């Protein structure tokens, strides 16, 4: 498990500064005005800080960037890092500045001087999000978590805000660890036990085995895993932090490895298919974040965990499988397996929970990468309101999301000669036909969105908030969307 950076919030304290042996980080605006702590540091260092701020180097420093003053006089610290940020910085600027701080830190013991800066929680979020490295499979590493004391004037307010942000970052790290884990480590069984452990946070977790899934009639899900020695599982996670209203549902594709099955994928790049459980990983991380921050909402997470392998038992192209809904599916291509998994769990979720809305996440199609690259996930929805709620939340969190179309006209591409539907269309509109296939398993009046995260779940070059590999995309957007639209307000909760 990747250790979470530690943030403790303390009141502004000059002794702590004097005793600090790691690194002090201060925030200075581009008008070079010094706050109480910076003035004090300037005095202790016999004017070094002010001289530094008058330098060409500082003047040329772009907003949001950092410079360090090494081994300053009369302090024990290795350096004082100066981050240039204005007091009226936006959330996005504060977050980006946090990222820059993480990238330029040279110690793991930090004293961050927040003072009166209002966006300190967003800045901390940026520091934490970028402070991630997946080392679980490397030997001889002893990762020391970053240990940050944040000095603020308004202790109560800022500490609570930082705690909420860290709950979210905890969820993101959980998702990243799951997605980065290789498929021999994160088997369906190991994944289910990781999720079972969420019960410690107050989440009710149920794990369904193959015989139960068989009884439920989840044949399209089961056929995907039938060539694998790892047993297929469905895990249901319930967070009941709201009243007695119906829950909002999050549904995730959890293919722990996608070889393509009998429609085998080419060897080159196949190793990337360890991330094909990304949808389930994001659902897990979002559930964790909601539980950690004790969200006043009812949310259910349902994930289908399977492995898509070729074998003598594997499902064949041409097989016809009956879904839990009752529709028959002709499997033309065993590599279009994610939709087969989702078909059954989408149906199950609606039958059991009658949710107020439902979002599924899946690394579903290579075609979405052709369309949107690695910057944005594709959003397909039957409901303008839900779609806007999600895209607004994603935008606020700096997570790219772009609406794509759904329309009955595409259904003709999925017509099967012998069954109710086939699992693939032609090459044309590959991501949309996948969406249309899923929509078949969504009830008429159910507000629903499908997020195709194939391009954003794991990336080959670093992004602003994450290193190469798993990004955790979606955890923050979902958490915010629940907070903004599906949570009981304070008055309602107490009254």
Active-site residues, by number, are: 265, 339
- Find the shortest distance in angstroms from Cβ 484 to Zn ion: 31
Residue 424: which of Zn ion, ligand BES, none does it interact with, CB under 5 to 8 A by kind?
Answer: ligand BES
- Helix then strand count (H, E) for the chain reads 17, 19
| DSSP conformation class of 381 | E
Residue 367: which of Zn ion, ligand BES, none does it interact with, CB under 5 to 8 A by kind?
Answer: ligand BES
* Residue 307 and residue 255 in contact, taking contact as beta carbons nearer than 8 Å: yes
Residues 6+ positions from 358 with CB-CB distance below 8 Å: 248, 249, 250, 251, 346, 349, 350, 442, 446, 447, 448, 449
- Torsion sign over Cα 470, 471, 476, 482: negative
In the complex with Zn ion, the residue whose CB is nearer, 335 or 344, is 335
Helix (H, G, I), strand (E, B) or coil at 43: helix
Q: Where does this chain bind Zn ion (CB under 5 A)?
A: 255, 258, 276, 335, 337-338
- Pinpoint the alpha helices (H) of 360-494: 367-372, 384-396, 430-439, 475-485, 490-494
In the complex with ligand BES, the residue whose CB is nearer, 3 or 310, is 310
In the complex with Zn ion, the residue whose CB is nearer, 93 or 365, is 365
| DSSP conformation class of 77 | S
In the complex with ligand BES, the residue whose CB is nearer, 128 or 454, is 454
Q: Where does this chain bind ligand BES (CB under 6 A)?
A: 258, 276, 333, 335-338, 363-367, 424, 430, 454
Q: Which of 309, 327, 310, 329 is nearest to 319 (CA)?
A: 329
* β-bridge partners, 321: 329
With 0-12 CB in 10 A as exposed, 13-18 as middle and 19+ as buried, what is 18?
Answer: middle
Q: What token pair was written down for 211?
A: 């015989």
Other Cβ atoms less than 10 A from the Cβ of 157: the count is: 14
Residues 6+ positions from 60 with CB-CB distance below 8 Å: none
In the complex with ligand BES, the residue whose CB is nearer, 68 or 365, is 365
In the complex with Zn ion, the residue whose CB is nearer, 194 or 335, is 335
Tell me the residue number closest to ligand BES, measured at CB: 366
- For the chain, the maximum distance between any two Cα atoms, rounded to a whole number of angstroms, is 85
To which H or E segment does residue 290 belong? Answer: helix 278-292
- Find the shortest distance in angstroms from Cβ 478 to ligand BES: 20
- Find the shortest distance in angstroms from Cβ 86 to Zn ion: 45
- Find the shortest distance in angstroms from Cβ 322 to Zn ion: 21
């Amino acid at each position: 498990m990747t250790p979470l950076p530690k943030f403790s919030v303390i009141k502004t304290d000059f002794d702590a500064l004097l005793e600090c042996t790691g690194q002090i980080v201060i925030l200075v605006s581009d008008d070079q005005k010094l706050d109480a702590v910076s003035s004090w540091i300037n005095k202790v260092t016999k004017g070094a800080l002010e001289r530094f701020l008058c330098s060409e180097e500082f003047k040329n420093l772009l907003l949001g960037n950092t410079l360090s003053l090494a081994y300053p006089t009369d302090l024990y610290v290795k350096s004082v890092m100066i981050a240039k940020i204005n007091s009226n910085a936006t959330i996005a600027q504060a977050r980006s500045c946090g990222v820059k701080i993480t990238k330029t830190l040279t110690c793991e013991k930090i004293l961050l001087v927040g003072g009166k800066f209002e966006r300190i929680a967003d800045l901390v979020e940026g520091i934490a999000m970028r402070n991630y490295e997946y080392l679980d499979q490397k030997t001889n590493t002893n990762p020391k978590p970053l240990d940050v004391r944040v000095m603020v004037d308004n202790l109560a307010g800022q500490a609570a805000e930082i705690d909420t942000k860290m709950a979210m970052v905890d969820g993101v790290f959980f998702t990243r660890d799951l997605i980065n884990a290789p498929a021999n480590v994160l088997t369906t069984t190991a994944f289910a036990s990781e999720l079972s452990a969420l019960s410690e946070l107050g989440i009710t977790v149920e794990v369904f085995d193959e015989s139960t899934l068989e009884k439920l009639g989840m044949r399209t899900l089961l056929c995907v895993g039938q060539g694998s020695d790892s047993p297929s599982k469905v895990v249901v996670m319930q967070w009941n932090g709201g009243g007695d209203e119906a829950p909002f549902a999050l549904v995730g594709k959890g293919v722990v490895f996608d070889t393509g099955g009998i429609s085998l994928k080419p060897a080159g790049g196949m190793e990337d298919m360890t991330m094909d459980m990304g949808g389930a990983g994001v659902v897990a991380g979002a559930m964790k974040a909601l539980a950690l921050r004790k969200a006043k909402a009812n949310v259910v997470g349902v994930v289908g965990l399977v492995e898509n392998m070729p074998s003598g038992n594997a499902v064949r192209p041409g097989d016809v499988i009956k879904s839990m809904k009752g529709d028959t599916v002709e499997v033309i291509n065993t590599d279009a397996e994610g939709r087969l998994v989702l078909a059954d769990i989408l149906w199950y979720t609606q039958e059991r929970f009658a949710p107020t809305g439902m979002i599924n996440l899946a690394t579903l199609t290579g075609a979405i990468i052709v369309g949107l690259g690695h910057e944005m996930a594709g959003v397909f929805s039957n409901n303008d309101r839900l779609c806007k709620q999600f895209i607004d939340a994603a935008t606020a969190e700096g997570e790219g999301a772009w609406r794509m179309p759904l329309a009955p006209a595409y259904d003709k591409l999925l017509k099967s000669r012998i069954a109710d539907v086939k699992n693939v269309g032609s090459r044309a509109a590959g991501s949309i036909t996948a969406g249309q296939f899923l929509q078949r398993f969504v009830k008429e009046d159910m507000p629903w969105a499908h997020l195709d995260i194939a391009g954003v779940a794991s990336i080959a070059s670093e992004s602003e908030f994450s290193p190469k590999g798993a990004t955790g995309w979606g955890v923050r957007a979902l958490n915010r969307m629940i907070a903004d639209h599906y949570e009981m307000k304070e008055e309602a909760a107490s009254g």
